[in-house]
Structure 1
Amino acid sequence: MIKSFFFVARLAAAWFGLFVLLAMFAQAIPALAHEDTGPLFLVALIVVAIVITHAFSHLRRVRLIAGEVNASTLSNRQRRQIEMPFDADEAFDLLDAAVRELPRTFELESARDSLQVRAKVRRPGLQGRHALSPATVYHWWLGTTRNQILATVTPGEGTSRITLICEPDTGAWSDWFRVDEGTNLENAEALVRAITRRVAERRRHERAAVTRTVVEKELAVAKLSLLHAQVEPHFLYNTLASAQYLTRNDPPRADEMLGHLIDFLRRSLPRTEDSLSTLGDELDRSRAYLEILKLRMGDRLSLQLDVPEELRALPLPPMMLQTLVENAIKHGLEPKPGGGTVWILARRGEHSIAITVADDGLGFNAQTAGTGIGLRNLRERLHLVYGGGAVLSIVANFPNGVAATLTIPSLQQEEAEHA
């Protein structure tokens, strides 16, 4: 209450003092020295009454907007600082959009290089009033029909700070003689709310994206575990049937086949400690699989391995190599009357490691083409594990057959070596 009283008294005193100075100036001029100053003091009383009315209106609006009255909320010039968890460009975009959507904004100047936004804002409350009403004359006389906004972004390391200044479009001296009826306080609070809402919305989108990514990864891991655990029924039935036949006719080969089958099944069990296998484990699984097929296919299948020992520790999602080997057999060599060879090679490049599964089977043709689901799933798993850093390429092998190459970042291998 005391602050409100002194605020109104200060404005009334400033105007009354102005008219006293005018009266003293008039008395100092000989031509006006004998004139009656009564009309001047009458005008002074009327103006002071209007000023007091607007001062109380200002107090009421400030109390409605801010909920309290103090030196900060009563000021015609409002300053706000907002810490942003974004870099300068993102913070500038949020600020620019918030200022543009502020009601009655015009003459907006947006300078991205200097990270500044300037705008003029028309003051409400004059529409519909008579041109000669005391309030309209009061506003136009002091030039208070519009406010201005100056907003600056100060960049930091991964964060930014927005400084907002909302003030009348007049010099600071005019604060002694007029009030803005809370319009700059209203503009400052509106901009803070708009920026805060946009930051919260951006955070919600980020959290939703993270949640989607986590769910997608969990789903991929679940699918991968299922794929890891399953064994193709036809392969298992045929292998057991072959082992049963060999048990009666060639026990040593039957024992060898069952040993490879046990090794293959043991390495096909789901991994519970982590989602990644190694190139060595995947190579042993694929070799056990191919050794079983060699016993079944005989001389129709041969295997060539060329994988450096230092690359066996390379982290690799399980079943990727196995998928490529199964494709080489199913679509390349099994349908081929004379069979052929499967090559598994691994090479380290400057920034990546290439793993190739090649065959000299039937190659690309309508008879051997599959549905493509396995390769599509493989590419999706590559993207989930490595992002855009891994590539699967499939080309024709020379003189015939197909060569499938996985290219993955070597950073994974470097981390394993330093662990």
Structure 2
Amino acid sequence: MIKGIFFVARLVIAWLLALFFILVVMGHSGPFRNIQPLPEIIAFAVLVLVVTGAFSHLRRVRLIAGHVNLDTLGNRQRRQIELPFEAGEAFDMLDATIRELPYTEEVESARDSLQVRSKMRRPNPYGRAVLGWLNPFSWLGSRRNQIFATVTPGDGIGSVMLVCEPESGAWTDWFRVDDGSNLVNAEAISRALARRVTERRRREQQAAAQTATDKELAQARLNLLYAQVEPHFLYNTLASAQYLTRSEPAQADRMLGHLIQYLRHSLPSAEETLSTLGEELERARAYLEILKIRMGARLELKIEVPDALRAITLPPMMLQTLVENAIKHGLEPKPGGGTVWILGRRDGDSVAITVVDDGQGFGAAGGGTGIGLKNVRERLQLVYGPRASLAVVANVPEGVAATLTVPAQQAAPGATESRS
């Protein structure tokens, strides 16, 4: 209360001194000597308007801020706001917030210098002004406010310095009030920034939760693949082995050996989510060797992968999916069969693994549903994000080439042995 009285007294004293000076000048001026005491009456009316306006300002500030002190009563408001984003993101958030304020007329933003300037029309909180130009608080300076904000870069944060003030010199603060309009602007910007930060955090949490859910779904699909291990392939292989035990025991023994190798590399591991290129090659080789015994001369296999790439990490079953697609949709339907190539090469920080066949290609009927390739793309996105990709193109002169591109990350020492 004392601070409020001091604030009103300061305004009254400033106007008293100004009016006293004006009355002294008018008293020594010839034209005004004959109209006494009109100047004194006008001065008294001005003081009454100043006092009532000051108390209205005092009451409005108390309603807005909940308390009154020299900071809240002032026409010029300053805020220091820390945003948990790098400077560029903090600036974009600040710029968007200021542009959305009501009564904004001009906004100038400079992203390189991280500064925003804005001009604001000052609203009349009590409706249309009855006194108009007779209101002494409207005699000095402009009826507009202005905002100046800068962002200072920090260690992972952007520090916002915000100034809300009248569009007039600081000396006018001795003679006029802003009806709490700059306090409203400062509080509105602070609240809006807090809301935007909360909204950003909520979206990030939702995205993280969605990513975790997607990973769980992808892992469930992978576990289902492990559980199934292509039942028809197993049935056909065991049936073929049973037949060969009577006619070609040596071939049956080879087939069962490859089946054991295939199953060993197809069992899920509880210790890690990523396999290695070497392990996936062994699985694919065992699968294709079994098919070579069943298909005979109709299937050829060529693997050209440098040994240095065998330790590169790779999500399990991805290479197997591409190999199975090459057989099912490319070579098995083709009367004369063909060849499957598995090629690997390193290109800077990436490794490309390509499965090529010279089968029927895209134009053949019964080319599959594409679910396997869709799952591969989804899992690549979940594991590597934009650093990995799957490209499927036509092979020349016939067939299909599917290329997995993944980051060249080495498996931890001993990881390969732990799965053997």
The answer, yes or no, to whether TM exceeds 0.5 is yes
Aligned equivalents of 2:353, 2:169: Cα separation in 1? 73
User: Any gaps of 5 or more consecutive residues in structure 1?
Assistant: none
Match of 1:19 in 2: 19
Name the CA shift for 1:187/1:404 in 2 (closer, same or farther; >3 Å). closer
RMSD over equivalenced CA pairs, Å = 2.8
Name the CA shift for 1:111/1:250 in 2 (closer, same or farther; >3 Å). closer
Per the TM alignment, residue 209 of structure 1 is displaced from its structure 2 partner at its CA by 2.1
Per the TM alignment, residue 286 of structure 1 is displaced from its structure 2 partner at its CA by 1.1
Aligned equivalents of 2:100, 2:72: Cα separation in 1? 23
Match of 1:116 in 2: 116
Q: Deviations over 1:252-294 (max 9, x none)?
A: 3323322222221221112222221101111111111122222
Aligned equivalents of 2:356, 2:136: Cα separation in 1? 89
User: Any gaps of 5 or more consecutive residues in structure 2?
Assistant: 416-420
Per the TM alignment, residue 63 of structure 1 is displaced from its structure 2 partner at its CA by 0.9
Per the TM alignment, residue 37 of structure 1 is displaced from its structure 2 partner at its CA by 6.5
Aligned equivalents of 1:184, 1:335: Cα separation in 2? 78
Match of 1:296 in 2: 294
Aligned equivalents of 2:38, 2:397: Cα separation in 1? 112
Name the CA shift for 1:154/1:297 in 2 (closer, same or farther; >3 Å). same
SS of the counterpart of 2:342?
strand
Q: Deviations over 1:359-388 (max 9, x none)?
A: 333344323522222122222222222223
TM-score using structure 1 length? 0.89
Per the TM alignment, residue 72 of structure 1 is displaced from its structure 2 partner at its CA by 0.6
Q: Which stretch of structure 1 is more off in the superposition, 178-187 or 379-388? A: 379-388
Aligned equivalents of 1:395, 1:243: Cα separation in 2? 36
Name the CA shift for 1:224/1:30 in 2 (closer, same or farther; >3 Å). closer
TM-score using structure 2 length? 0.88
**Residue 346 of structure 1 contacts residue 356 of structure 1 at CA under 8 Å; is this kept in 2?**
yes
Match of 2:102 in 1: 103
Aligned equivalents of 2:303, 2:107: Cα separation in 1? 69
State the one-letter code of the partner of 2:267.
Answer: L
Match of 2:144 in 1: 146
Match of 1:243 in 2: 241
Q: Deviations over 1:218-265 (max 9, x none)?
A: 211221222233222211111111222223333333233222222212
Aligned equivalents of 1:274, 1:198: Cα separation in 2? 38
Match of 2:67 in 1: 68
Aligned equivalents of 2:353, 2:249: Cα separation in 1? 36
Per the TM alignment, residue 316 of structure 1 is displaced from its structure 2 partner at its CA by 0.6
**Residue 105 of structure 2 contacts residue 118 of structure 2 at CA under 8 Å; is this kept in 1?**
no
Per the TM alignment, residue 22 of structure 1 is displaced from its structure 2 partner at its CA by 3.4
Name the CA shift for 1:131/1:295 in 2 (closer, same or farther; >3 Å). same
Match of 1:198 in 2: 196
Aligned equivalents of 2:262, 2:203: Cα separation in 1? 44
Name the CA shift for 1:167/1:338 in 2 (closer, same or farther; >3 Å). closer
Match of 2:7 in 1: 7
**Residue 104 of structure 2 contacts residue 118 of structure 2 at CA under 8 Å; is this kept in 1?**
no
**Residue 302 of structure 1 contacts residue 342 of structure 1 at CA under 8 Å; is this kept in 2?**
yes
Per the TM alignment, residue 157 of structure 1 is displaced from its structure 2 partner at its CA by 4.7
